[in-house]
Structure 1
Amino acid sequence: MKTPFLTLLFTAFFITITAQETPQVGDQLMVNGPSNQFYNHVDFPQLNFLVKRGKIANYKSVKGNHVEISHVETDKNGTQYVTLKKKDGGKFFGYLNSVKANYNKSINSGELSVIQ
């Protein structure tokens, strides 16, 4: 009697954990600092491209921004990619409307965090 009950309990637990990790369109995230010197899992431009466009070569302007998921896609390997837009409708670095990010890797590395 204990075994079926515990199996059902663990199955329900893992289903709820998995359901919380799937991104939905409209979810809100916050951009944190890069995991090292550069963003590895969020496709922000490299610093030398910002300098070529006449911008200041740092990521301070995007750190702390609230972003919203506008599109979710899953490739054939099961990796989930999200397209992010700024919540206030502005542009990243003054010229990018949206950026693409690997959802699971960017959350695990701390580059993005979920806003509850």
Structure 2
Amino acid sequence: MKKIYLLLLLVSVFTFANNTKPLQSKQNEPKVGDVLVINSTSNSKYNHIEFPQLNIIAKKGNVANYKSVHGKRVVIKEIVNHEGGNTKVLIENEDNTIFFGFVRQVKANYTKAIASGELLRVTH
């Protein structure tokens, strides 16, 4: 009888231990159509969002800074790849305007951008 109780206890512990982690990771995984906000950074460039370099923005005739994207709401259009715990996504403006007058979509390392605060999830 003791063996049966011990077996049931072990089975229930392993079952609950295996089910908790996927629930947490599924809540943090991006989905196509999720809305995010681009947050301002403390330094002059974004490390995990692949915006064009400032000299390229200036050559295209715009002001060479990233202030125009601070606070912009963006939508995830495509999940590019998911490897090694890092997820790369393709984002574009929610209102279908273009970034800096010439870029429609940009790639972002979703995992690192959320962790560093460059991107913020919008809660409905």
| TM-score normalised per structure 1 | 0.87
How many residue pairs end up in the alignment?
Answer: 116
Is the partner of 2:68 in helix, strand or coil?
Answer: coil
Residue by residue over 1:79-100, the C-alpha shift from the partner in whole angstroms, topping out at 9 and shown as x without a partner, is 3110001000100111111101
Pick from 85, 96, 109 the counterpart of residue 89 of structure 1: 96
CA contact 2:77–2:91 (8 Å) conserved in 1: yes
1:48 deviates by 1.3
1:51 deviates by 1.1
Q: Does 92-101 or 10-19 show the bigger shift?
A: 10-19
Alignment correspondent of 2:111? 104
**More helix by percentage:** 2
Equivalences for 1:12-23 in 2 at 5 Å?
A: 12-23=19-30
> For the residues of structure 1 that align with 2:121 and 2:83, how far apart are their CA atoms?
25
> For the residues of structure 1 that align with 2:36 and 2:10, how far apart are their CA atoms?
39
> For the residues of structure 2 that align with 1:35 and 1:9, how far apart are their CA atoms?
41
Q: What is the percent sequence identity of the aligned residues?
A: 39
RCO higher in structure (CA 8 A, sep ≥6)? 1
Q: Which amino acid aligns with 1:83?
A: L
Alignment correspondent of 2:39? 32
User: Is 2:49 aligned against 1:46?
Assistant: no
| TM-score normalised per structure 2 | 0.82
1:62 deviates by 0.4
After superposition, the CA RMSD in angstroms is 1.9
Unaligned runs of 5+ in 2: 1-7
CA contact 2:48–2:109 (8 Å) conserved in 1: yes
